[in-house]
Amino acid sequence: MASLVDPVAAVSQQVEDFFTAQREQTAGYGPEAARMLDAAAAAVAGGKRLRARFCLTGYQAVSEVSTPPVSTPESAVIGAAAALEVFHAAALVHDDIIDNSDTRRGRPSAHRRIENAHLDAGWRGDAAAFGRAAGILLGDLLVALSDDLLETALSTAPDTRAAAARRQYAMMRRDVTIGQFLDIAEESAHVTAPDTEHAERALRVASLKSARYSVEQPLLIGARLAGADQSQLRALAEFGHPVGMAFQLRDDVLGVFGDEHETGKPAGDDLREGKRTVLIAYAREALSPGTRRLIDELIGDVDLDAGQVASLQRTIQDTGALDRVEDLIAGYVRTADRALAGARLGNAAVGHLRDLARAAAQRTS
> Which of 6-15, 81-90, 268-277, 318-327 is predicted with the least confidence, judged by mean pLDDT?
6-15
pLDDT of residue 204: 97
Q: Does residue 260 surpass a pLDDT of 90?
A: no
Q: Domains along the chain?
A: 1-46+73-156 (1.10.600.10), 162-365 (1.10.600.10)
Cα 326 to chain centroid distance, Å, stands at 20
Do you find a cis peptide bond into 68, omega within 30 degrees of 0? yes
Q: For residues 116 and 131, what is the distance between their CA atoms, to the nearest angstrom?
A: 8
Sequence-separated (6 or more) residues with CB below 8 Å from residue 161: 72, 224, 225, 226, 227
pLDDT band at 97 (very low <50, low <70, confident <90, very high): very high
Do you find a cis peptide bond into 194, omega within 30 degrees of 0? no
* Average pLDDT of span 148-152: 97
- Would you call 6 helix, strand, or coil by DSSP? coil
DSSP string, 53-92: HHHHHHHHHHHTT-SS---S-HHHHHHHHHHHHHHHHHHH
pLDDT of residue 3: 41
Q: Does residue 232 surpass a pLDDT of 70?
A: yes
pLDDT of residue 4: 47
Q: Does residue 227 surpass a pLDDT of 60?
A: yes
* Average pLDDT of span 206-232: 97
* Average pLDDT of span 339-355: 96
Share of the chain above pLDDT 70, in %: 99
Element (H, E) at 135: helix 127-154
* Average pLDDT of span 218-240: 98
pLDDT of residue 6: 79
* Average pLDDT of span 336-353: 96
Residue closest to 110 by CA, chosen among 176, 38, 49, 52: 38
Longest dimension (CA), the chain: 66
How many CA atoms, within 13 angstroms, populate the side-chain half-sphere of residue 295? Answer: 26
How many CA atoms, within 13 angstroms, populate the side-chain half-sphere of residue 337? Answer: 12
Q: Does residue 359 surpass a pLDDT of 70?
A: yes
- How high does pLDDT run on average in the chain? 94
* Average pLDDT of span 104-132: 94
Q: Does residue 2 surpass a pLDDT of 80?
A: no
* Average pLDDT of span 16-39: 96
Q: Which amino acid is at 244?
A: G
pTM of the model: 0.94
Cα 197 to chain centroid distance, Å, stands at 25
Contact 105, 46 (CB under 8 A): yes
Q: Does residue 134 surpass a pLDDT of 60?
A: yes
Contact 11, 52 (CB under 8 A): yes
* Average pLDDT of span 145-163: 97
Buried b or exposed e, range 137-156, using 16+ CB within 10 angstroms: ebbebbbebbbebbebbbee
- Measured distance between the N- and C-terminal CA atoms of the chain, rounded to whole angstroms: 28
